[in-house]
C-alpha cells in the first residue's frame, strides 16, 4: 500500500477505519491506495461509461465506491486539469432571456417525457445520422436511439419501445418541428390518450429538461471522437453514454436516474462486492419499496422547489471573467463541418490553444498568442475565452495549432 495506508496501520486505526482481510476500509468503502488512484479516476471519468462528466457527478460516483482523504479537492483538480474536458466544454458566461416551459408535475417515473433530436451527425457505419433523446421528467432517466432519419416514423418507433419497457406515459414535451407535430405522432397521442405540449419555435432552451442533456451528450460524444478521424462510430458508444448519465446522481434530485427506475444502483466497471449482502426475496422487495417510496416523496418536493428556483435564476446575466496579461487561455474557434472528411462541427472540440494573453485592450477584449506556433490572435472578446489549467508541462501536451486548419475562423 502507499504511505497513507501504512501510516494508518502503524498505530491503532482511527475511528471509522477497519482492516478486513488485509483491505483497509473506511466504513464499508475501501481506502483507495495512491498507486490505484489514477487508474480508478480514469474508469470513473475518462472511460466512455463515465462520459467525462463534471466535478460533482465524478465526485459522487467516486465517493460512493471508495474513500480518499481530501477527495473533493483531488477530484476537483483532476477534472479541472482534464485536457479533453477543457477543450470541449463551454463556460457559462451569460444567458439570453427566454421563457421556460416546464414539462409539468410528474408524479412517478415515465409519467411525463421530454423528447428531442440531436443531429445531423456524420453517417455512422450503420447508416445512422441522428440521436433521438427521450428523458423522464421525474427520474431524469434518458433513453438514446440512433436513427438514420429524423422523421415521425422513427419517433413513433422509439416511443413504442419506451412504452413497451415502462408503460404508457401521460405527457410528451417537444418542440413544434415537423417530426413532432406530424399526423402520425398526433394520431398515436390521440389514440393512447397522451397530451402533447410544445415549446416555442426557435427557443430550444425553453425545453430546458432535455436541452440541458443535449449539451452533456455533445460533450460525451466529443470526448471520444478524434478530430482527425472519421466520426463514423459515434452510435456504438450510445449505450455507454446512456449508462454514464443514468448512473450519476442528478443535480436536482440527488439520486441516480438508474436507481429511481430500477430500485438499485447500476453495476459499474469500478464497482466492488465488499458490502454486497444477499437478502431473502421478500425482505429485498420490502427494502426496495421503502427506498422508492421515500425517494419519490423527496423528488416531488425537490422538483417543485427546483422549478421555482429556475424561474428566478434563468434570466440573470453572468459577468465574464477578468483575465490579466500572461494568463493561459483556450479560445472558442468556430469550425466548419466537412462532409468529405466525415467531420461534424458539433463533435469537434470548440476550444483551441493554449494561448497566452499578451495585451489587455479593455475589460472584455484581449490580444493573445499561441504558445506553440507563436501566431497572434488580436481583439478577442472575453466571451470566447476560458482559463486553461495546465496538468504538467505545457510543451509536452503538444496542443493543436489553431492556424493549421483553414476551416477555423478568427
pLDDT (tens digit, 9 = 90+) per residue, 230-251?
A: 778 899 999 999 999 999 988 7
Write the CB contacts of 281 (distance below 8 Å, at least 6 apart in sequence): none
**pLDDT for 92:** 56
Kindly report the length of the chain: 410
Write the CB contacts of 141 (distance below 8 Å, at least 6 apart in sequence): 109, 110, 135, 246, 257, 258, 260, 261
**pLDDT for 98:** 41
Angle between helices 71-80 and 55-65 (to 10 degrees): 140
The C-alpha cell that represents 180 in the structure block: 413532432
Cβ count within 10 A of residue 151:
16
- Over residues 87-128, the pLDDT tens digits come to 887 765 543 334 444 545 678 899 999 999 998 999 999 999
- Measured in degrees and rounded to the nearest 5, phi and psi for residue 303 equal -65, -40
Rounded Cα–Cα distance for residues 403 and 410 (Å): 9
Rounded Cα–Cα distance for residues 129 and 90 (Å): 24
Low-confidence ranges of the chain (pLDDT < 70): 1-12, 91-105, 200-208, 226-229, 274-277, 279, 284, 286, 303-304, 306-321, 334-346, 391-410
> With contact defined as beta carbons under 8 Å apart, do 335 and 408 qualify?
yes
Chain centre distance of CA 87: 15
The residues with which 356 forms a beta bridge, in sequence order, are: 328, 369
Instruction: Report all structural domains of the chain as residue ranges with CATH numbers, in order of start.
Output: 3-81 (1.10.340.70), 112-315 (3.30.420.10), 327-387 (2.30.30)
Q: Read off the DSSP letter of residue 396.
A: G
Q: Which residues of 382-391 are buried (b: 16+ CB within 10 A; e: fewer)?
A: bebbbebbee
Longest dimension (CA), the chain: 73
**pLDDT for 396:** 43
Cβ count within 10 A of residue 229:
11
**pLDDT for 302:** 73
**pLDDT for 325:** 93
What's the pTM? 0.64
Amino acid at each position: 500500500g502507499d504511505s497513507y495506508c501504512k501510516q494508518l496501520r502503524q498505530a491503532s486505526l482511527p475511528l471509522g477505519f477497519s482492516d478486513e482481510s488485509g483491505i483497509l476500509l473506511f466504513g464499508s468503502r475501501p481506502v483507495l491506495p495512491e498507486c490505484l488512484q489514477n487508474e480508478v479516476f480514469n474508469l470513473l471519468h475518462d472511460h466512455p461509461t463515465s462520459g467525462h462528466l463534471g466535478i460533482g457527478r465524478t465526485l459522487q460516483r467516486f465517493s460512493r465506491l471508495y474513500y480518499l482523504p481530501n477527495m473533493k479537492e483531488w477530484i476537483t483538480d483532476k477534472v479541472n486539469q482534464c485536457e479533453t474536458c477543457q477543450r470541449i466544454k463551454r463556460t457559462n458566461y451569460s444567458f439570453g432571456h427566454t421563457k421556460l416551459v416546464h414539462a409539468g408535475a410528474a408524479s412517478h417515473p415515465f409519467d411525463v417525457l421530454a423528447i428531442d433530436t440531436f443531429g445531423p451527425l456524420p453517417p455512422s457505419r450503420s447508416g445512422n445520422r441522428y440521436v433521438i433523446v427521450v428523458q423522464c421528467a421525474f427520474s431524469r432517466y434518458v433513453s438514446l436511439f440512433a436513427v438514420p432519419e429524423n422523421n415521425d416514423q422513427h419517433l413513433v418507433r422509439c416511443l413504442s419501445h419506451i412504452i413497451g419497457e415502462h408503460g404508457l406515459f401521460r405527457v410528451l414535451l417537444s418542440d413544434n418541428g415537423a417530426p413532432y407535430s406530424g399526423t402520425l405522432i398526433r394520431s398515436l397521442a390521440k389514440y393512447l390518450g397522451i397530451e402533447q405540449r410544445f415549446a416555442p419555435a426557435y427557443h430550444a432552451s425553453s425545453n430546458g429538461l432535455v436541452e440541458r442533456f443535449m449539451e452533456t451528450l455533445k460533450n460525451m460524444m466529443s470526448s471520444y471522437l478524434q478530430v482527425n478521424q472519421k466520426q463514423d462510430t459515434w452510435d456504438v458508444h450510445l449505450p455507454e453514454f446512456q449508462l454514464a448519465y443514468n448512473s450519476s446522481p442528478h443535480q436536482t434530485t440527488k439520486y441516480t436516474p438508474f436507481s429511481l427506475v430500477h430500485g438499485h444502483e447500476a453495476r459499474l466497471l469500478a464497482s466492488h462486492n465488499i458490502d454486497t449482502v444477499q437478502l431473502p426475496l421478500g425482505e429485498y422487495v420490502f427494502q426496495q419499496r421503502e427506498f422508492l417510496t421515500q425517494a419519490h416523496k423527496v423528488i416531488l418536493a425537490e422538483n417543485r422547489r427546483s422549478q421555482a428556483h429556475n424561474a428566478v435564476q434563468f434570466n440573470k446575466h453572468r459577468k465574464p471573467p477578468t483575465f490579466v496579461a500572461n494568463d493561459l487561455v483556450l479560445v472558442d474557434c468556430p469550425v466548419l463541418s466537412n462532409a468529405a472528411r466525415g467531420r461534424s462541427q458539433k463533435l469537434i472540440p470548440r476550444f483551441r490553444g493554449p494561448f497566452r494573453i499578451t495585451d489587455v485592450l479593455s475589460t472584455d477584449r484581449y490580444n493573445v498568442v499561441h504558445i506553440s506556433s507563436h501566431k497572434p490572435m488580436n481583439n478577442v472578446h472575453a466571451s470566447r475565452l476560458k482559463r486553461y489549467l495546465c496538468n504538467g508541462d505545457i510543451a509536452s501536451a503538444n496542443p493543436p495549432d489553431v492556424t493549421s486548419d483553414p476551416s477555423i475562423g478568427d
